[in-house]
Structure 1
Amino acid sequence: MLVILDRDGVINEYDGSYICSPAQWHPLPGSLEAIGQLCGAGFRIAIATNQSGIARGYYDLDTLEAMHDKLRQLLKAHGGTVDFIAYCPHHPDEHCQCRKPATGLFGQIREHYGLGSLTGAVMVGDSRKDLEAGLAVGCDTYLVRTGNGLETEQHLLERPLEGVQVFDNLAAVVDHLLAGKSR
């Protein structure tokens, strides 16, 4: 099974500020272990992340890759790996097709894995954009309360999205997925 994760606020700490260097990139407690558990259970992991800090000039592609290298290295200690990272480097004003809630990143992921669709894949995010994109491509969609998640959860009370399940963090989602797989 394929699990697609948003990055900032799901895997790593995020307070709304741009993460502009590997030194500023810090995993959330339990997130790396959770990804390791998924990998150990046979799940494939992809990331779909908006990174407009590139278009804004806050960091460049080499720095983004260095952050992702840090993630990959830290994951190794937990038996985890990320197969594919799709990112949108564009500014929101560019109205590209890859910036979530558009589904271009999901198309890249689908193509990478040679899948006809993403129906039945899992999407985990902390923002409405993540959830809308996941739902649009047929993913089972989960909101975590980390990062922007608490605020997003409050907005879902006003404007619900059908089919979204809410968990405290990535580790709780993983526990849920692994419990379902063992049945």
Structure 2
Amino acid sequence: MFLFSGALCFPQFYQDDYDVKIERVELARYNTSYLKDVKFQYTFYNRTQKVLNASGHLLVDVGRDATVTVQFYKFASNEYRFFPVAFDANACHEVAHNTFNLGVMLKNTSNITPCHMKKGLYYIRNLAFNDFSHLPPHFLRGQFKMDAEAHVSSASLFEIHFYVTVSDKPPKWNKKQ
């Protein structure tokens, strides 16, 4: 089982052997003691590109103690089954170190700064997941469900489910002259 705890501290990955297609993203639940007026949508931006739009009012101050727990499930025998890849990560640390290119994606599309979030309105606008080159190389192919749950201290803030398909990149066609 691949179980990571604490900071990921991975080197900056680069992979070019697989593509990821995000089928859908859904907000499974959120804690009304910490968030209100939450809106969440994964929709088409144009004919070919889907984007994530989300907003909500944070009711408490969140500091450097926010963590994210991620668990993978693999689609097999017509259902998502437990897959032994899971990790806990400090949100502030991982965004500051731009793990999986998260820091750049959030900086360009939102006002979220996980290291010091005060009460107020936070949003993500038109976040397109289209660069998967910063993910770990040699990941298994198939359909997966990824559950990401955000925590502050011992309380859960929200849980998001990503449904994705990991497939080989098409072969490169080099035209010989």
TM normalised by structure 1 equals: 0.26
Q: Structure 1 or 2: larger helix share?
A: 1
Greater Rg over alpha carbons, structure: 2
TM normalised by structure 2 equals: 0.27
